[in-house]
Structure 1
Amino acid sequence: MSDSIVAAPGVPDHFPQRIVCLTEEPTEVLYALGEDHRIVGISGFTVRPPRARKEKPKVSAFINAKIGEILKLEPDLAIGFSDIQADIARELIKAGVEVWISNHRSVDGILAYIRRLGAMVGAHGKAEAYAQRAEQHIAEIRAAVAKLPRRPKVYFEEWDEPIITGIRWVAEIIGIAGGDDCFPELARESLAKQRILPNGDEVVRRAPDIILGSWCGKRFRPERVAARPGWDTIPAVRNGDLYEVKSPIILQPGPAALFDGLDAIHRIIVEWALR
């Protein structure tokens, strides 16, 4: 699909020219759209695409940023995610930087985010094509799932101490991939503190068939999970169905979750369903 908003040769490009990406998902989207030349700074947690780490200066973490370094880059737009980055946004706004903080938490929200970001940089056509590609991929997974003989109950753990269950887009991806999230009522809660379990008893009671772990910033340890008191009765533990899903492909509300994250979870569910 051709892009309908690209400036003609010799005509000034009136869209943002110097963008700082405070989280990974805008970096991944802009690279995918071929608009990476607009990026002047990225999050230190960025791993997608790999070349971004080599090409762009790292100026932020998630809850803090190098405000002075960002200002030296003279950005005309900074893009971040969620209320957690409110303090960073406030400091940049006070310094005169235009800031966009998205707050999406669902699969539909990710798709809308791709389209909105594309429009903001004058790449509406390319963004629409990219979003449609993601939608087609989701449709193909749904069609494959419809042929599976059974659906597992899936428990997703975002953190271990305290135990935090999965956020909304993760629960939705589990559903698309062929499973049923064990804590759908908690998945609707946007803040991690609202998804904390007092202990593991309720996980035992809900008896998941599969346990998925993605502990942001550290390696998932299935042997530690399996050793929790009473968890030996859980079907997933009895059958050894505990798996890590790497954080960069599932805990970022961006394209990675709709492609690699969805594929990873779908493969695990298919293997279980056809066993």
Structure 2
Amino acid sequence: MRSFPPQRIVCLTEETVETLYLLGEEDRIVGVSGYAVRPARVRREKPRVSAFTSADIPKILALKPDLVFAFSDLQADIAAELIRAGVHVHAFNHRDVAGILAMIRCVGALVGAGERAERLAASYEARLDEVREATATIARPRVYFEEWEGPLISGIGWVSELVAIAGGDDVFADLSGCAAAKDRIVTQEQVLASMPDVILASWCGKKVVPEKIRARDGWGAIPAVRDGRIFEIKSPLILQPGPAALTDGLDAIRRALALRP
């Protein structure tokens, strides 16, 4: 990093973009992921330089960033290429709610906004505690979260935690600690055997088609299918490990769990 705090930041995933905007540090951002949609104005304010597992390296280098935020081992090759080009890269690799809160605090510290980041993270912690307390005594539906339809992939760590905070029990909570999607693959038979009361689906940016879920062999016997409790949660709200998941994502889960047939 040539200076502190960094003046020209590229964000290769959505969660660091939203965090910088929430901290009032958006003027430092010079390039973003093509998936960045929060806040809405980011799409007209910032040039798009990457997808998730691919990036326009020449375009990024032309922006002369003094810091690039990346996420997960899936962006390791991008990070390595940028590092070889002399760019300072900070790669996050969190998969749970605690990691999201730590990311917010870390981003704040890296841009000289540590106090604001601490207040923001603390506000989320307080809200999570409030929701957890409010749902502590209600009946807990069994919840299947579907991250992808073929193969079927169950929910990742922070998603499973938010389901629990919202008042549900993730039927595949034992798999949620697996960072890699391939390790969270489940079969139609396993879902059928788990008999979830609610199905939440977010197909990584692809529109969820409830009819396809209902048509799966034998799934008519599943309470969630029988009772019409299949709900889509938009990917930007729940599949990025950042502020969106802790706010609008959590609220979407709560609404789905509260709806009755």
Equivalence for 1:40: 30
CA deviations over 1:164-202 (Å, ceiling 9, x no partner): 1110100000000000001011111000011112x3001
Equivalence for 1:129: 119
With structure 2 as the length reference, what TM-score do the two structures score?
Answer: 0.97
User: Quick check: 1:156 aligned with 2:152?
Assistant: no
Provide the C-alpha distance between the structure 1 equivalents of 2:259 and 2:215, rounded to a whole number of angstroms: 24
Equivalence for 1:10: none
Aligned-residue offset at 1:266: 0.8
Aligned-residue offset at 1:147: 4.2
Provide the C-alpha distance between the structure 2 equivalents of 1:91 and 1:177, rounded to a whole number of angstroms: 40
Equivalence for 1:72: 62
Unaligned runs of 5+ in 2: none
Provide the C-alpha distance between the structure 2 equivalents of 1:78 and 1:92, rounded to a whole number of angstroms: 9
Alignment of 1:72-151 (within 5 A): 72-148=62-138, 150-151=139-140
Unaligned runs of 5+ in 1: 1-12
Aligned-residue offset at 1:136: 1.5
Equivalence for 2:167: 178
User: Quick check: 1:193 aligned with 2:182?
Assistant: yes
Q: Select which of 234, 238, 241 maps to 1:250.
A: 238
The amino acid across from 1:132 in the alignment is A
User: Quick check: 1:220 aligned with 2:208?
Assistant: yes
Aligned residues: 259
Provide the C-alpha distance between the structure 1 equivalents of 2:91 and 2:11, rounded to a whole number of angstroms: 10
Q: Select which of 52, 65, 69 maps to 1:62.
A: 52
CA deviations over 1:90-136 (Å, ceiling 9, x no partner): 11001000001100000011001100110010000100010011111
CA deviations over 1:195-222 (Å, ceiling 9, x no partner): 112x300100010000000001210111
Provide the C-alpha distance between the structure 2 equivalents of 1:172 and 1:131, rounded to a whole number of angstroms: 17
Provide the C-alpha distance between the structure 2 equivalents of 1:269 and 1:159, rounded to a whole number of angstroms: 20
On the 8 A contact 2:205/2:234 being kept in 1, the answer is no
Q: Give the secondary structure class of the aligned counterpart of 1:50.
A: coil
Provide the C-alpha distance between the structure 2 equivalents of 1:100 and 1:146, rounded to a whole number of angstroms: 37
With structure 1 as the length reference, what TM-score do the two structures score?
Answer: 0.92
Q: Percent identity?
A: 58
Q: Give the secondary structure class of the aligned counterpart of 1:132.
A: helix
Provide the C-alpha distance between the structure 2 equivalents of 1:271 and 1:157, rounded to a whole number of angstroms: 18
Provide the C-alpha distance between the structure 2 equivalents of 1:261 and 1:57, rounded to a whole number of angstroms: 26
Equivalence for 1:14: 4
CA deviations over 1:205-244 (Å, ceiling 9, x no partner): 0100000000012101111101100101100001000000
Between stretches 138-147 and 261-270, larger displacement belongs to 138-147
The amino acid across from 2:51 in the alignment is A
